[in-house]
Chains A and B, each alone.
Chain A
Amino acid sequence: MNRPGRRGAAVLVVRLALTAVRRSPLPAVAGALVVALGVVVLLAGLSMHPTAQARGAADKAAMAGEFAADGEPGLLIAHSSGSYRDRPITASLVADTAGGGLVPPGLDRVPAPGEVVLSPAMRELWSDPGTTLAQRYPGRDVGTVTRAGLVGPGALVVWIGVDRDRMPETRVVTGFGGAGVADIADMPSELRLAVPLLVIGFLLPLVALFLTVATMGTAARERRLAALRLLGFSARHARLVAALESALVVVPGVVLGCLVFRLAAPVLAPHLPVRGGVWPDHVFFSLPVAAGLLVVLPLLGTAATWWALRRIDVSPLGVVRGAGDRELRRRRLLPLGAGCLALAGSAAAGHGADDVTLAGALLLAAVVLLLVGIVLAAPLLCRVAAQGLGRVLPGIPAQLAAARVRRDATGAARLVTGSALLVFVSGLLLSFFPLLETGNAAGLRALRDTAGGNLLVADVQLLDTAALAELRADPGVSGVARLTQVQISDGAGQGGPLITATDCAELSGVLPALGGCSAGSLLLAPADSDAKAVPLRTDGPLQAVTMVESADGGSLDTVGLGPLTTSEAPRTSEVLGSLDELTGGTIGLVDVSALPAAARPTAAGGTLLVRPAAGSAELERVRTLLTRATSAASVLTVDEQVAEAERTTQTYRDITLAALGCAALVGVLTLTSTLLQQVREHRRALVALWMAGMPRATVRAATLLQSSLVILPVVALSLVLGLATATTYLALADGGATRLPWAAIGVVAAGAAALPLLATALTLPALRTTTHPQLLPD
């Protein structure tokens, strides 16, 4: 017979590949497990966006969305936000206008006044008297909010039935599906560039992982392939066997990973640390995606194997490394050089902000070129470092390490590629943090600085005077103040700017840092400090603009203010400015005693500030009192408001850190398996050294040195390039006003350098078992 039958050959090839995997199952099993972990991480990453969207849709669905004019049949609804021990609560007052038949999602009927409907998680807390939530949201428990009204299984939701005339909101709701809560989809524009980087930062280590696993077992495989070639396997056949072997590792890994994700995700989803947990079916595991992975990943692995073996000619005599290394290596520096040029070009174009578009495009090009450049230049860098070390350090371990790196610089550099890219990308990603901080919620943060984070702030819906008196008298409360807004006029015209009216004595109790506010005083914000400050002539008599109700509607009237002592706040005082954050911007403060009776605050509207007694552990009880006094208005501390305003930032930060964490985990696994692989491959050499009398400690030292030799220069290069790119980006984004987060970047770099060494240390015990003379003969 002259040609092997096609089928016969195929069967033989599969059998050989299977035998190889069966013969050394440990690397195969480890490889499959590593692939499985990578697939779990990948699936988690892939399901993040659809999950966020599903949650956003669920959020929207439960919010009032369609409105009609006063008097139409429908519901009156007032949503508000509360909190219990850092868990956000959504409380909604509801009143049925005329039995329109509309029912909020997740409820089977509209609660009547005096009734509440609770979500399961809410009921658990609500029925525990220690939480005071039953007092905060009082009523008879008449039903459970079902899934249609909840963003997640642990969401804290309460619907409270109230009388129509106790309802602060007058718009009639005729349908649901309102504006959802901000999610990742509503990303601030500063983050647009971050998304591709985040994806790269997330995917790179995974790709590195698959390639490593796919090309594992090279030395043993090369020996096997050479033996087969001698028997008449063509080079193509030999590569086919190798590719099949890698598929035999990757395919079970992918299946296992999909299975683990499919089984674990629904169990873990409700316990995820996001608002209300996640419904299991919001975590998307789509079969097409899994099937896609099952096709793409093995193909990727197979292609990588094919490619790896293409560069080395599998000859019947063994493996011959491709010649012409030297020319190749020079060219390897090109992308890196081009990247540096693009970076410099971007910095130059952005300087003086001549051409921001060009600078941005150049920056993006630089990022891509540098990523590729680092990978390509790494072997060269490793070799140069090895040559330098061999010259500088005299000991045998250094000589040995240098010799090994020099012999196979490309293989050595593979060890560090993942970490290097990680350092580069995280340097960039972390530089977005300070940028966000300068933009987002600056006013609220100023308020936190001046007023303290535990100050409770409530938007008054309808003031319950009895409950307010109880609140003031409570020993857990050290101060209560109310802020309302009054339109003020200097007589020049009917219109005029808004001013905050408050009882200065009370406010000073809540905000001791505020000076210049006393009985009968008018405290103006510095005139030129802010565009909002409207000049007001204070030399003449001032008037308050009031609303006069009459049978045919309302009209405006002005009433003179009482005697005033006017002063201007010192420009250095930030307290007044931070109050704007709560009132929405006014020109200053006026003591309520100066206001005419017609302009005094009524029961509705305004803001209540409550300072819990210092060190009060009873925040939740005080919050309950305040919620009742304000008819279930939103009651949040300043800290909670900051967190709310920074939610997108926080989400970005969490995702970034999670992605970096996953990448690091996957990276360590990859490194450890690569290193173990290398130890196995060098087994013969190691045994020979040991038999020649070299102590194991020296072998170990050489191995550690070899790793650091490779890691330190490459990580340093990526760090420098990452920082240069981040600096250029920050200069483009806000003229260099923002400083780099050196500490965080330093930690990442140190981690990236330490992880490979840790992985090396983990493999050292393996040296003990591999340097055994019986393993010497093949």
Chain B
Amino acid sequence: MTGPLLVADDLHLAFGPTRALAGASVEVAPGEVLALLGPSGSGKSTLLHCLAGILTPDRGEVRYRGTRLDDRSDEARSRLRRNDFGFVFQFGSLVPELTALANVALPLQLTGARRRAAEEQARSWLERLGVADVAGKRPGEMSGGQGQRVAVARALIGGPRVVFADEPTGALDSLNGELVMEEFTAAARDQGSSVVLVTHETRVAAYADRSVVLRDGRLTAAPAWA
């Protein structure tokens, strides 16, 4: 398939009086790592949620592989999240009650895999990200860096077409953050997943193929260093 994988076209979204998005447009190409930069409160997370079909814009449309996404049913969008998308958030993307291994195996099981096979694959992903030793621990019992690596493994295990990452290293120190970013982008490129990476740190954006900057809910020209 040619052309962009994911398109946001003139999105508007307000939370009461707050205009979070005011005409944001962006395109994501297959296999591309795109950084969404911008100051805090500029609407980056909101745009990411719209692209992933979690939030529905007030106006404008989101197209995924050529068809509209924002007007699909909850069931259909849930199916997309199950089969085509992966997520890494700053906090709370893991199920707190499950172990790291169970968390990583979950996307495979959700798409019908048997538990044993899913856990086997999950274990190899944990190894690949260097956190095999926390397989039996629950999110509350891991360090921030370990938790984010587990979250990356879980986002990638199903071979998603797009991974949405919102400040994935926001809670980590810079050394740890760079290590996680390196492993994350390498693994994503390996299996050809596109990545939408939200961050306010230019250092993190350096791992992207391309950067766009959001200000007051709309995109501005790319910065000189991009």
A232: chain B residues at CB < 8 Å are 78-83, 85, 107, 110
| Set B87, B98, B109: member contacting A230, Cβ < 8 A | B87
Q: Is the CB of B95 within 8 A of A224?
A: yes
A227: chain B residues at CB < 8 Å are 92-96
A392 contacts chain B at the CB level, 8 A cutoff: no
Q: Is the CB of B78 within 8 A of A233?
A: yes
Q: Is the CB of A234 within 8 A of B140?
A: no
Interface-centre pick from B54, B91, B95 (highest chain A CB count, 10 A): B95
Known contacts A8-B109, A316-B81, A778 near B96 by CB under 8 Å: yes
Chain A window 216-260, contacts with chain B (Cβ cutoff 8 Å), 1 for yes, 0 for no? 000010011011111111111100000000000000000000000
Known contacts A4-B82, A4-B110, A778-B139, A236 near B92 by CB under 8 Å: no
A348 contacts chain B at the CB level, 8 A cutoff: no
A4: chain B residues at CB < 8 Å are 82, 109-112
Residues facing B in A175-233 (CB within 8 A) are 220, 223-224, 226-233
A9 contacts chain B at the CB level, 8 A cutoff: yes
A12 contacts chain B at the CB level, 8 A cutoff: yes
A223: chain B residues at CB < 8 Å are 92, 96
Question: A220 vs B97: C-alpha distance in the bound complex, in angstroms?
Answer: 9
| Set B75, B93, B102, B111: member contacting A234, Cβ < 8 A | B75
B74: chain A residues at CB < 8 Å are 234-236
Q: Is the CB of A229 within 8 A of B94?
A: no
A236: chain B residues at CB < 8 Å are 74-75
Chain B window 93-126, contacts with chain A (Cβ cutoff 8 Å), 1 for yes, 0 for no? 1111110001000110111111000000000000
The residue on B at minimum CB distance from A12 is B109
B55: chain A residues at CB < 8 Å are 317
B113: chain A residues at CB < 8 Å are 1
B83: chain A residues at CB < 8 Å are 2, 232
B161 contacts chain A at the CB level, 8 A cutoff: no
Q: Is the CB of A777 within 8 A of B140?
A: yes
Known contacts A4-B82, A232-B79, A232-B81, A20 near B91 by CB under 8 Å: no
Interchain nearest-CB distance for A624 vs B (Å):
72
B215 contacts chain A at the CB level, 8 A cutoff: no
Chain B window 137-161, contacts with chain A (Cβ cutoff 8 Å), 1 for yes, 0 for no? 0111000000000000010000000
Interchain nearest-CB distance for B224 vs A (Å):
34
B98: chain A residues at CB < 8 Å are 16, 19
A23: chain B residues at CB < 8 Å are 97, 138
A326 contacts chain B at the CB level, 8 A cutoff: no
Question: A708 vs B9: C-alpha distance in the bound complex, in angstroms?
Answer: 52
Question: A227 vs B147: C-alpha distance in the bound complex, in angstroms?
Answer: 14
Q: Is the CB of A3 within 8 A of B106?
A: no
Question: A316 vs B97: C-alpha distance in the bound complex, in angstroms?
Answer: 17
Residues facing B in A1-44 (CB within 8 A) are 1-5, 8-9, 12, 16, 19-20, 23-24
B59 contacts chain A at the CB level, 8 A cutoff: no
The residue on A at minimum CB distance from B140 is A778
B49 contacts chain A at the CB level, 8 A cutoff: yes
Residues facing B in A437-457 (CB within 8 A) are none
A641 contacts chain B at the CB level, 8 A cutoff: no
Known contacts A12-B109, A778-B140, A3 near B96 by CB under 8 Å: no
A315 contacts chain B at the CB level, 8 A cutoff: yes
Known contacts A224-B95, A224-B97, A231 near B112 by CB under 8 Å: no
The residue on B at minimum CB distance from A15 is B115
The residue on A at minimum CB distance from B139 is A778
Number of interface residues of B (CB under 8 A): 35
| Set B75, B97, B111: member contacting A2, Cβ < 8 A | B111
Interface size class, chain A = 20 to 34
Question: A224 vs B92: C-alpha distance in the bound complex, in angstroms?
Answer: 9
Question: A5 vs B107: C-alpha distance in the bound complex, in angstroms?
Answer: 13
Interface-centre pick from A19, A235, A316 (highest chain B CB count, 10 A): A316
The residue on A at minimum CB distance from B106 is A231
A24: chain B residues at CB < 8 Å are 97
B96: chain A residues at CB < 8 Å are 220, 223-224, 227, 778
B154: chain A residues at CB < 8 Å are 231
Q: Is the CB of A3 within 8 A of B80?
A: no
Chain B window 6-37, contacts with chain A (Cβ cutoff 8 Å), 1 for yes, 0 for no? 00000000000000000000000000000000
Known contacts A230-B81, A231-B81, A3 near B112 by CB under 8 Å: yes
Known contacts A3-B79, A234-B78, A778-B92, A317 near B110 by CB under 8 Å: no
Question: A778 vs B113: C-alpha distance in the bound complex, in angstroms?
Answer: 29
Question: A775 vs B81: C-alpha distance in the bound complex, in angstroms?
Answer: 31
Question: A1 vs B114: C-alpha distance in the bound complex, in angstroms?
Answer: 12
Q: Is the CB of B140 within 8 A of A8?
A: no
Question: A223 vs B97: C-alpha distance in the bound complex, in angstroms?
Answer: 10
Question: A24 vs B112: C-alpha distance in the bound complex, in angstroms?
Answer: 28
Interchain nearest-CB distance for B220 vs A (Å):
26
Q: Is the CB of B92 within 8 A of A226?
A: yes
Interchain nearest-CB distance for A240 vs B (Å):
13
Chain A window 763-778, contacts with chain B (Cβ cutoff 8 Å), 1 for yes, 0 for no? 0000000000000011
Question: A24 vs B54: C-alpha distance in the bound complex, in angstroms?
Answer: 29
Interchain nearest-CB distance for B108 vs A (Å):
9
Question: A438 vs B93: C-alpha distance in the bound complex, in angstroms?
Answer: 69
Interchain nearest-CB distance for B193 vs A (Å):
16
B138: chain A residues at CB < 8 Å are 23
Known contacts A223-B96, A230-B87, A1 near B112 by CB under 8 Å: yes
Question: A319 vs B87: C-alpha distance in the bound complex, in angstroms?
Answer: 18
Chain B window 150-184, contacts with chain A (Cβ cutoff 8 Å), 1 for yes, 0 for no? 00001000000000000000000000000000000
| Set A9, A316, A318, A778: member contacting B110, Cβ < 8 A | A9
Q: Is the CB of B82 within 8 A of A5?
A: no
- 18 sample A-B contacts, Cβ–Cβ < 8 Å, listed by A number: A2-B111, A4-B82, A5-B112, A8-B114, A12-B110, A16-B97, A220-B96, A224-B96, A224-B97, A230-B93, A231-B107, A232-B78, A232-B81, A234-B78, A236-B74, A318-B92, A778-B91, A778-B96
Residues of A within 8 A of B (CB): 1-5, 8-9, 12, 16, 19-20, 23-24, 220, 223-224, 226-237, 315-318, 777-778
Residues of B within 8 A of A (CB): 49, 54-55, 74-75, 78-83, 85, 87, 89, 91-98, 102, 106-107, 109-114, 138-140, 154
5 nearest CB pairs, A to B: A232-B82, A232-B81, A234-B78, A1-B112, A23-B97
